[in-house]
Amino acid sequence: MDKIIGLHFDNHNFSLKGSLEWIPNTKKQKERHFKKFGKELKVNRSKYRIKDIYWEKEVERVKEPEGREYSYSFSHNHLIISNIEEDGVFYIMNDHKVGRMGQTFRYKFQIIDYHKTTNQSDYKIKLLDKTMSMIR
């Protein structure tokens, strides 16, 4: 994760670093998708939950005007990583929120020659895709 941050996220100030697990599609979702489109539903790569927290700092409170009084909301910048798949592909979700607004980006990376390289520090990592998956 630190290597990815150094290569692609060097100017970011994260409030949480952790790992994610994908929320699997339900049987009902799979059946409904097959009935509607006639093909199998792909593995979910948008809905997730935080599995482990590696590092976290205190969340900032943002003061926002609401009518005459001020209300407090929280801001965060999470960076969470998925497990590495058999072909060396892994995903990183960057969830950034300030007050009530924010967005989530999904990055897809691949480790080049994943099965040939045994030393993790020698991994060559390639960014395959960057997709905004949510806007608040």
Instruction: For the chain, give every domain's residue range.
Output: 2-135
Closest CA to 83 of 122, 119, 43, 33: 43
Closest listed residue to residue 53, CA positions, set 22, 84, 80, 21: 80
pLDDT, tens digit, 9 for 90 and up, residues 54-107: 999 876 565 666 655 555 567 889 999 999 999 999 999 999 988 778 999 999
Q: Say whether pTM exceeds 0.85.
A: no
- What tokens appear for 54 in the block? 């590696």
